[in-house]
């Protein structure tokens, strides 16, 4: 059978995503990634250039995945928040990767940071063009949309970052019951934030 470079890259990526989500950057082992990917360590260094660069590539791809999959629609912010909640529930590895990045990853390469910034900037301008902060002076509209986007992301992400706390505070019997309740709450809060002129100022 001929060597399939793309298939090898995909297997390395999938194995690395699972490894980093479980163990973080410091705890991840290239040997385990290679074994689970059914590849050799040399292929990892050839395609990705080492563990740190592989971690950055995995995180960047996961962020691109959610960016492409979910769009914050200005006239349907609450519904968009519900879709984003569902996406994170189906892909819990992204929250774990972001937490590991915050805890132990070195400063991201300038190019990767710029790509992330540009992606969120496009979402913010989409919100502004859709009318978010329309009652504010022009120079304040972008800030209002940035705050709205980040607040909604925080409302969603915290549920998956601390699931035991979520279940305990809500006094629910299971994670599923807690998340179902939280999804409804997030949607309602997003609806109020998007509709409230006061909310645009924070």
| Tens-place pLDDT, residues 157-172 | 999 999 888 888 999 8
For 106-131, what is the mean pLDDT? 79
Q: Which of 20-34, 67-81, 108-122 has the lowest mean pLDDT?
A: 108-122
Cβ neighbours for 124, distance < 8 A, ≥ 6 positions apart? 142, 145, 146, 149
Confidence of residue 109 (pLDDT cuts 50, 70, 90): low
Mean per-residue pLDDT over the chain, rounded: 88
| Secondary-structure percent of the chain, ordered helix, strand, coil, rounded to 5 | 80, 0, 20
Inform me whether the pLDDT recorded for 52 exceeds 70: yes
* Separation between Cα atoms, residue 18 and residue 64, nearest integer Å: 17
Residue 30, pLDDT score: 96
Question: 69 and 94 in contact (C-beta within 8 Å)?
Answer: no
Chain centre to alpha carbon of residue 141: 24
Inform me whether the pLDDT recorded for 58 exceeds 90: yes
For 169-191, what is the mean pLDDT? 92
Q: pTM to 2 decimals?
A: 0.82
Q: What angle do CA 22, 89, 12 make, to 5 degrees?
A: 40
Inform me whether the pLDDT recorded for 1 exceeds 50: no
Share of the chain above pLDDT 90, in %: 60
Please state, in angstroms and as integers, the Cα–Cα distance from residue 27 to each residue in 21, 22, 24, 61, 130, following that order: 10, 9, 5, 21, 43
Residue 164, pLDDT score: 86
Give the tokens for residue 48.
């990705």
Confidence of residue 191 (pLDDT cuts 50, 70, 90): very high
Residue 197, pLDDT score: 63
């Amino acid at each position: 059978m001929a060597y399939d470079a793309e298939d090898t890259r995909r297997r390395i990526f999938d194995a690395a995503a699972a490894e980093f989500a479980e163990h973080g950057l410091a705890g991840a082992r290239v040997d385990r990634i290679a074994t689970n990917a059914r590849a050799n360590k040399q292929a990892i260094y050839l395609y990705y250039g080492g563990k740190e660069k592989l971690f950055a590539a995995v995180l960047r791809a996961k962020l691109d995945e959610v960016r492409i999959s979910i769009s914050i629609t200005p006239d349907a912010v609450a519904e968009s928040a519900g879709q984003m909640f569902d996406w994170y529930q189906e892909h819990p590895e992204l929250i774990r990767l972001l937490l590991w990045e915050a805890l132990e990853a070195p400063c991201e390469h300038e190019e990767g940071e710029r790509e992330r910034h540009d992606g969120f900037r496009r979402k913010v301008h989409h919100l502004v063009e859709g009318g978010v902060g329309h009652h504010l002076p022009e120079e304040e509209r972008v800030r209002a949309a940035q705050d709205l986007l980040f607040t909604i992301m925080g409302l969603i992400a915290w549920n998956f970052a601390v699931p035991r706390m979520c279940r305990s505070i809500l006094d629910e019997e299971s994670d599923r019951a807690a998340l179902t309740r939280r999804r409804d709450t997030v949607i309602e809060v997003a609806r109020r934030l998007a509709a409230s002129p006061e909310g645009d100022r924070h």
